[in-house]
Structure 1
Amino acid sequence: MAKSSADDAELRRACEAAIEGTKQKIVMSIRVVKSHGMWNKTGKISRHQMAKPRVLAISIKQKGQRTKAFLRVLKYSTGGVLEAAKLYKLKHLSKVEVITNDPSGNTFTLGFDNIRSHAVANPPQWTMRNIDDRNRLLMQILNICKDVLGRLPKVVGIDVVEMALWAKENTPTVTAQRNQQDGVHVASAVTETELKVNVEKELVSQAEEEDMEALLGSYVMGIGEAEAFSERLKREIQALEAANVHAILESEPLIDEVLQGLESATNCVEDMDEWLGIFNVKLRHMREDIESIETRNNKLEMQSVNNKALIEELDKLLERLRVPSEYAAYLTGGSFDETHMIQNVEACEWLTGALRGLDVPNIDPIYANMRAVKEKRAELEKLKSTFVRRASEFLRNYFAGLVDFMISDKSYFSQRGQLKRPDHADLRYKCRTYARLLQHLKSLDKDCLGPLRKAYCSSLNLLLRREARDFANELRASTKISTSTNPNVWLLGGIGSGQNVNAADTSTVSEAYAKMLTIFIPLLVDESSFFAHFMCFEVPGLVPPGGVANGNKTGYDDDDANDDDLGIMDIDDNDSKAVRNSVELAALNEALQDLLDGIQEDFYAVVDWAYKIDPLRCISMHGITERYLSGQKADAAGFVRLLLGDLESRVSMQFSRFVDEACHQIERNDRNVRQTGVLAYIPRFATLSTRMEQYIQGQSRDLVDQAYTKFVSIMFVTLEKIAQTDPKYMDILLLENYAAFQNSLYELANVVPTLAKFYHQASEAYEQACTRHISMIIYYQFERLFQFARRIEDLMFTIAPEEIPFQLGLSKMDLRKTLKSSLSGVDKSIAAMYKKLQKNLTSEELLPSLWDKCKKEFLDKYDSFTQLAAKIYPTENFPSVAEMRDILASM
């Protein structure tokens, strides 16, 4: 018998090397052939399948007190070295099946329950060399499953008796070789117990084993007589079955008796079944009747509940559709007197709520389409239109009646000798009575407010214009003005510079204009704010309740300024939450235009009246207007701010008219007559600017600065034109006038930046005129001397300095002649120069400074001449600069 590969120590060592590092111990390793093919009828594997050599190894691993068992499949690599291919856990082994198509019985498959879910068409088949190898491997697997796992897999295709006989006969000692460290192979005997191959002990109990031995002992036969033993057992089984049939036949009377009892019981059961069927039909009919009765009762109960709910809902709907007679009476024909306004407001509130209650989603959409609801809505709409028409007509007549009553009473307006401040407290009190009515009219019909707003604006506009006209007329008539001197006299050409033009006291003009603004601007602001809230515009208030735009600035009686608290804000709480709406704001501004339009003419009349009395008072009025305009930020788009802006433009226009006329008079100087000395408008401008600064009082700076710029520009341009008419005396006229401009405006230029700019401009022009005039005088007296020096300077650009004495007219002899003619009697020439400077100068106070400038200029020119002459004519002698300075000092 060939040696089994299970005893190959080298194979076991190769397997251990392949799984090195896994902490597993090889129990058995054996060579097998792996295939997936189907066995044909001849007992051979199909040709297209390939058998692959493999090694199956059983390994165990100790983990504490637990032992794990594995089945490993190893394959040969290209170098013939074993390497691990697959690993199966024996705890998942569920079936061991020997392939019946293999006549040798050496082929089997192993089934694992953890891979049942995979669609494996052909599980691997393992073919051993012989039956001994197969039995040895399978016994080892079964033994480990029994010891380690405590259970056995299902075994198919193997005769248990055959396996037991094989296990009993094949219990030889197996030699195992172990590789020691020194490389020597030691053989040791391994018993059956050590290899754990005692399968019969594991498969059957001790009692079963004894019975089997007794049974086998009664027969003298070997393993080859198994077929005869099987035939004998079949014959004995057939004999036992025949004996059982005979015994059954002998018990026939008992069976007949049992059958008769069964038949009588069957008859009773059939009768009972028939009765039960009858009772079942009757019960079914009764159940159907009961169900029908319950259904009818449920329907009646549901109908009763629904009818009750419907009646309640209809009662609510009828209550909602009912129009109270007292409200209907007020809506269709009630009085709008003050005593009945509470009832009217209550009727409006009811009507508004009733209309809102008939709209979806306040009412169920199903009810909204009902005929009764539609008819009631039409009835309410008719009530609404009737009430809105009656209320609108009453309010239009009421507004007109209030204003007509006030206009017919003269005590409301200013009269001769008495200025009357407009008082609208009573008017607003009466209007406020109908404020809540207007709120409800807006909620009922928003379009009805347009005609009411126009009617209110039209009526109140008449009152406001009448009050403004009478107040402005009496204000002008009662203003006393001191007119000892015409304020415009400075524009006349004949007045001298020393005359006083400030004798007129026109401060009352400015005070009258301020009083007009103090009285009417807060009034117009309050009227605008009251109108916006009273007529239900959804915009914020123009000023806080009870506030005024600028306060009392002039000290006049202002006790009534806060008598109107504009409590209209309390009419509807929603007003406090209103947001700015551009459409509403545009409508408000348009309405305010109708309310206040035309009143600006009376303000313009006061401005024009003040301008005629004193044009310079436009400066004060401009400052007053600016202060009021800066206080109207809350009314950025309102009529009052537009009015103040127009007034500011009107004042600016009048002042610009005054400036243009003054500039025209400056340009209109008589150019046919020779102008000498200081022109008349120079000192008059100084006086005018002083007075203008007094009127500014911290306001209207830009207006005055623009006037200064225009005045001075025209003055300087006109001065230059006048000076050019006589070139001989041009510089004298310029320096005298520029000097006079500086002297007259010295103090103002220190505090007014605009005048300081023109002061420096005049100073530069003065210096230029002085330089030109002094140079002309010097050249007039010493023309030959300095002309000689100029010729030398011209030649130095083209020839060398040492060649200049040889030029025609520039020899040393020519130099001596020039010096003799120019410097002999130099004191007389200097005295003549002083007389010429003094001759045409009208402003004697300028002579000392001009003479000092003249002497300095002459010394500078002479110094330049001496340096030039010493360079060209080094051997010549001429008076030094020090000698010339001494001569000038002695003059």
Structure 2
Amino acid sequence: MTAIKHALQRDIFTPNDERLLSIVNVCKAGKKKKNCFLCATVTTERPVQVKVVKVKKSDKGDFYKRQMAWELRDLAEVDAKDASKENPEFDLHFEKVYRWVASSTAEKNSFISCIWKLNQRYLRKKVEFVNVSSQLLEELPKAEESVPSGESQSVAGGDEDALDDYQELNAREEQDIESMMEVCEYAISNAEAFAEKLSRELQVLDGANIQSIMASEKQVNILMQLLDEALAEEMLQSVKEQMDQISQSNRLIQISNTNNGKLLDEIQFLVNYMDLSKGHIRALQDGDLSSPKGIEACINASEALLQCMNVALRPGHDKLMAVKQQQHLFSELRDTFARRLTNHLNNVFVHQFYRSSCLSLPGHDQSSTLSQHTAELTLPKHSPLHRDLLRYAKLMEWLKNTHREKYEGLSRTYVDYMTRLYEREIKDFFEVAKIKMAGTTKEAKGKFATLPRKESALKQETESLHGSSGKLTGSTSSLNKLTVQGSNSRRSQSSSLLDMGNMSASDLDVADRTKFDKIFEQVLSELEPLCLAEQDFISKFFKLQQHPTITPPLAQVNLKDMVRLMMNKIFQSIETELNSLIALGDKIDSFHSLYMLVKMSHHVWTAENVDPASYLSTTLGNVLVIVKRNFDKCISGQIKQMEEVKISKKSKVGILPFVTGFEEFAELAETIFRNAERRGDLDKAYVKLIRAVFMNVEKVANESQKTPRDVVMMENFHHIFSTLSRLKISCLEAERREAKHKYTDHLQSYVINSLGQPLEKLNHFFEGVEARVAQGVREEEVSYQLAFNKQELRKVIKEYPGKEVKKGLDNLYKKVDKHLCEEESLLQVVWHSMQDEFIRQYKHFEGLIGRCYPGSGITMEFTIQDMLEYFSSIAQSH
């Protein structure tokens, strides 16, 4: 309000030679939104005119303009509506009745009091005051003679111009003022009375000055006559002396008048700006700090006290005894109110915190805290506590500006209480989360049956987890190295990528992991608003908000640091509890690290969007580092398990466990990481895992004794190719093509190597034929070679009649069936490829017979059609 008064005085009233004495922020009754100001003013020139001026902001809102003015002599009645109760409404009766609603009762009372004093001082016709408390009007003595108290908030419009005309007192004037102040013993103790006395004497001097001027005019007329005579009688010297005396007399009168006015202005300045009302003094000393009205009164009083203490005194004011006494009074009031406020807020902290933690309730069973929110995994809300304390925010700001040590003491007290309160609530909250998390496992299946359901046992378990995430993740010492099992029993075994921590794949299912995901998300969703609400309260209550437009950058950094330090102290247990919860989840199932990485990354991203430097963002970022390490450790553990895989010498290999494990890992990961911020981490893990799968498939194929190498490579790379084609993982497109290539190559190699068995002698014969041709023997001359003549050819062909060929093919089918596994269903694919290869070889043999034995009439004992029937009947019979 002070800034508005100065602006109005400077922009509106000083240009019109007016002085602003009192101001009230009002709006018309029933029109709350259109605010304006009613101003009580007097002119600086005599005769004094007293007006009530209505001022409002321009439509653009960047300056004030004078809208309407009334002469005080036209005011007939002031109706305050109610003299016994606080009521912001009042009426002013001019030519018509104007009904107003003030922004506060205190402003209304101050304005009416000023109008009453102006009426008493300047008007003969007295205004009628209705429903105005007589106590309000009696609080200011000698109202008909004194300057209105409303001037204590006014701005002296002519002070700056008057200072330019200031003239130093000469020795005689100083003696006269000292004599005057000695005569008036109350000049220092009662500055207001002394000012009134000077004002009256100034009026007497004004009258004497006028009389002197009038007398001077008569003397001038006489002197003019004397001048005429002096021209004749040579008396001009006498006239000059008389004129000098008159001029000197007038100058002395003017100096005395100016100096008296200056002295009066100085005294009025001290009275206006260093006077604290009795109501404010009572509020500071005994005001009620527990009721809304009492708090508002204390806020107004503390702000008024701060304005009085911060007033810019003019040179020499600090040496006046009255000023020193007022400053001493202000210091005592400040210290007294600071002690009262500190003690009261300490008591409020204690009461509110104990009420929030239920410690104040008689017979309260503290052990029930854990089960209080078991049904719903939630954290208690402290919005009622924050709402109650925010009523004191302005008083905390006052304490911060006046008593820094008490402000900091209250800050430490609040932090200490909240630290204990949140530590207990957060600990209980995480205990419930761990119980629910442990319930996601199927204890009846035994691998995690050691995790108890009872709270006491769980507490003992979780206490061992605090700060020991490194001991839990990757604890696979209890796992037996994977052994490749036969195809008939493989589905009963857990895959490499699912046999994690202390849990096997058979003990986990999608529902368990989904439940864990919901629990972890609920934990983060409860912590986020809790931290944000507390940080917002701390910033508002302790006045640590950032104002970039007016606050220097360095001060902003300091405010952020203060908020962060308080939040770190209050929520010091959150990071530890989160790490413990993460360690437990990772111990239950390392796959949980995928869920936690996605959820934690999303909440970190959300917190950084709200405030990158907030406590929540920093803390979740630290925890995210731990989650990412667990995720990396999970991937590294699976690669290590692949490297340690051993094969059975008694059964065929089939699809390796880590190949099916990668399939299940990829299926789950694609579901979890759909639209996730950390997709890049998964892509990197994919590349590491698939390269390890490729490398270890080849390793197992090379070490296999029961199953041919080509079969191991063919079946496993076919499975990998099918998986990557179905999931369409873009970052593994090159690996998908490579898997297809390896599958095709080893299928062809296996078919070629296996087909040589049924027609072995015939193959050897034609290999010899091709060798002779390669040595330079002409094809049509091969039949003349003793070892490869027509007779030898017929002898070899007779060894492979149709029945023998079919029998050989049947044995080959059985052998292939033993090599291949059922899961991949490649038997018919391999058999069809063998049929194509057999036909190709048959045609190759026929071609060699036609070229090397032309016209011999030698043919195979069976035809291509016979071969097709052999392959078809063998496949159907099995």
**With structure 2 as the length reference, what TM-score do the two structures score?**
0.54
CA separation in 2, counterparts of 1:585 and 1:790? 88
| 2:349 corresponding residue in structure 1 | 399
More deviation, 710-719/485-494: 485-494
| 2:260 corresponding residue in structure 1 | 307
Gaps spanning 5+ residues in structure 2: where? 1-227, 449-478, 494-504, 871-878
Classify 1:695/1:305 alpha carbon distance in 2 versus 1 (closer, same or farther; 3 Å). closer
| 2:209 corresponding residue in structure 1 | none
Alignment deviations for residues 69-126 of structure 1 (CA, whole Å, 9 cap, x no partner)? xxxxxxxxxxxxxxxxxxxxxxxxxxxxxxxxxxxxxxxxxxxxxxxxxxxxxxxxxx
CA separation in 1, counterparts of 2:565 and 2:781? 93
| 1:599 corresponding residue in structure 2 | 574
CA separation in 2, counterparts of 1:526 and 1:402? 17
Q: CA deviation at 1:282?
A: 0.7
Counterpart secondary structure, 1:599: helix
Classify 1:789/1:347 alpha carbon distance in 2 versus 1 (closer, same or farther; 3 Å). farther
Alignment deviations for residues 637-681 of structure 1 (CA, whole Å, 9 cap, x no partner)? 212223333444444444544444444433332357466231344
8 Å contact from structure 1 (residues 682, 741) kept in 2: yes
CA separation in 2, counterparts of 1:348 and 1:687? 69
Classify 1:583/1:425 alpha carbon distance in 2 versus 1 (closer, same or farther; 3 Å). closer
Alignment pair present for 1:342 and 2:296: yes
AA of the residue aligned to 1:433: R
Alignment deviations for residues 774-830 of structure 1 (CA, whole Å, 9 cap, x no partner)? 2333566366467557757977xxxxxxx5549999986666489668756456578
Alignment pair present for 1:856 and 2:836: yes
Classify 1:456/1:879 alpha carbon distance in 2 versus 1 (closer, same or farther; 3 Å). farther
Which of 684, 691, 700 is residue 722 of structure 1 equivalent to?
A: 700
AA of the residue aligned to 1:351: L
Alignment pair present for 1:771 and 2:748: yes
Q: CA deviation at 1:395?
A: 4.1
8 Å contact from structure 1 (residues 497, 683) kept in 2: no
AA of the residue aligned to 2:349: F
Which of 808, 816, 820 is residue 842 of structure 1 equivalent to?
A: 820
Alignment pair present for 1:524 and 2:531: yes
Q: CA deviation at 1:710?
A: 4.4
Alignment deviations for residues 37-85 of structure 1 (CA, whole Å, 9 cap, x no partner)? xxxxxxxxxxxxxxxxxxxxxxxxxxxxxxxxxxxxxxxxxxxxxxxxx
Alignment deviations for residues 699-754 of structure 1 (CA, whole Å, 9 cap, x no partner)? 575666555544443333222111112488211222233345556x48x8246556
Classify 1:278/1:640 alpha carbon distance in 2 versus 1 (closer, same or farther; 3 Å). closer
CA separation in 1, counterparts of 2:812 and 2:348? 91
Q: CA deviation at 1:497?
A: 0.9
Alignment deviations for residues 809-868 of structure 1 (CA, whole Å, 9 cap, x no partner)? 998666648966875645657864773464252336433321322343455567678879
Alignment pair present for 1:497 and 2:494: no
Alignment pair present for 1:533 and 2:510: no
Count residues in correspondence.
Answer: 571
Alignment pair present for 1:889 and 2:868: yes
Q: CA deviation at 1:345?
A: 1.9
CA separation in 2, counterparts of 1:525 and 1:620? 24
| 1:608 corresponding residue in structure 2 | 583
Alignment deviations for residues 218-263 of structure 1 (CA, whole Å, 9 cap, x no partner)? xxxxxxxxxxxxxxxxxxxxxxxxxxxxxxxxxxxxxxxxxxxxxx
CA separation in 1, counterparts of 2:858 and 2:606? 78
Counterpart secondary structure, 1:415: helix
Alignment pair present for 1:430 and 2:406: no
Q: CA deviation at 1:887?
A: 5.6
8 Å contact from structure 1 (residues 749, 756) kept in 2: no
Which of 633, 636, 641 is residue 665 of structure 1 equivalent to?
A: 641
| 2:613 corresponding residue in structure 1 | 637
Classify 1:889/1:405 alpha carbon distance in 2 versus 1 (closer, same or farther; 3 Å). closer
| 2:564 corresponding residue in structure 1 | 589
CA separation in 1, counterparts of 2:610 and 2:440? 37
Q: Equivalent pairs: percent with the same residue?
A: 16
Q: CA deviation at 1:321?
A: 3.7
CA separation in 2, counterparts of 1:784 and 1:374? 127
Which of 473, 481, 487 is residue 431 of structure 2 equivalent to?
A: 473
Counterpart secondary structure, 2:546: coil
More deviation, 774-783/881-890: 881-890
Alignment pair present for 1:733 and 2:712: yes
Classify 1:277/1:321 alpha carbon distance in 2 versus 1 (closer, same or farther; 3 Å). closer
CA separation in 1, counterparts of 2:674 and 2:779? 75
Matches within 5 A, 1:505-584: 505-506=511-512, 507-539=514-546, 581-584=556-559
Classify 1:690/1:833 alpha carbon distance in 2 versus 1 (closer, same or farther; 3 Å). same
CA separation in 1, counterparts of 2:237 and 2:410? 82
CA separation in 2, counterparts of 1:820 and 1:881? 9
8 Å contact from structure 1 (residues 421, 519) kept in 2: yes
Counterpart secondary structure, 1:536: coil
Alignment deviations for residues 474-495 of structure 1 (CA, whole Å, 9 cap, x no partner)? 3444675461546899997577
CA separation in 2, counterparts of 1:793 and 1:299? 148
8 Å contact from structure 1 (residues 538, 580) kept in 2: no
8 Å contact from structure 1 (residues 330, 344) kept in 2: yes
8 Å contact from structure 1 (residues 604, 647) kept in 2: yes
Which of 408, 415, 420 is residue 462 of structure 1 equivalent to?
A: 420
CA separation in 2, counterparts of 1:575 and 1:889? 93
AA of the residue aligned to 1:442: K
AA of the residue aligned to 1:302: I
Classify 1:589/1:417 alpha carbon distance in 2 versus 1 (closer, same or farther; 3 Å). closer
Gaps spanning 5+ residues in structure 1: where? 1-274, 542-573, 796-802
CA separation in 2, counterparts of 1:329 and 1:310? 32
What is the RMSD computed on CA atoms of the aligned residues? 5.0
Matches within 5 A, 1:265-284: 279=232, 281-284=234-237
CA separation in 1, counterparts of 2:546 and 2:861? 89
| 1:287 corresponding residue in structure 2 | 240
8 Å contact from structure 2 (residues 717, 739) kept in 1: yes
Matches within 5 A, 1:677-688: 677-678=653-654, 679-687=656-664
Which of 294, 310, 317 is residue 356 of structure 1 equivalent to?
A: 310
Counterpart secondary structure, 2:573: coil
Q: CA deviation at 1:535?
A: 1.6
Classify 1:639/1:882 alpha carbon distance in 2 versus 1 (closer, same or farther; 3 Å). farther
8 Å contact from structure 2 (residues 596, 627) kept in 1: yes
8 Å contact from structure 2 (residues 797, 861) kept in 1: no
8 Å contact from structure 2 (residues 481, 644) kept in 1: no
Classify 1:863/1:442 alpha carbon distance in 2 versus 1 (closer, same or farther; 3 Å). farther
AA of the residue aligned to 1:415: L
Matches within 5 A, 1:34-183: none
Matches within 5 A, 1:754-833: 759-778=736-755, 781=760, 784=764, 787-788=767-768, 805=778, 816=789, 825=799, 828=804, 832=808
CA separation in 1, counterparts of 2:772 and 2:345? 104
Classify 1:868/1:583 alpha carbon distance in 2 versus 1 (closer, same or farther; 3 Å). farther
Classify 1:712/1:578 alpha carbon distance in 2 versus 1 (closer, same or farther; 3 Å). closer
More deviation, 498-507/634-643: 498-507
CA separation in 1, counterparts of 2:325 and 2:756? 116
CA separation in 2, counterparts of 1:498 and 1:490? 16
Classify 1:664/1:295 alpha carbon distance in 2 versus 1 (closer, same or farther; 3 Å). same
CA separation in 1, counterparts of 2:859 and 2:411? 99
Q: CA deviation at 1:683?
A: 4.0
AA of the residue aligned to 2:506: V
8 Å contact from structure 2 (residues 717, 742) kept in 1: yes
Alignment pair present for 1:296 and 2:249: yes
Alignment deviations for residues 533-556 of structure 1 (CA, whole Å, 9 cap, x no partner)? 222123379xxxxxxxxxxxxxxx
CA separation in 1, counterparts of 2:414 and 2:634? 41
More deviation, 277-286/291-300: 277-286
CA separation in 1, counterparts of 2:519 and 2:239? 112
Q: CA deviation at 1:608?
A: 3.5
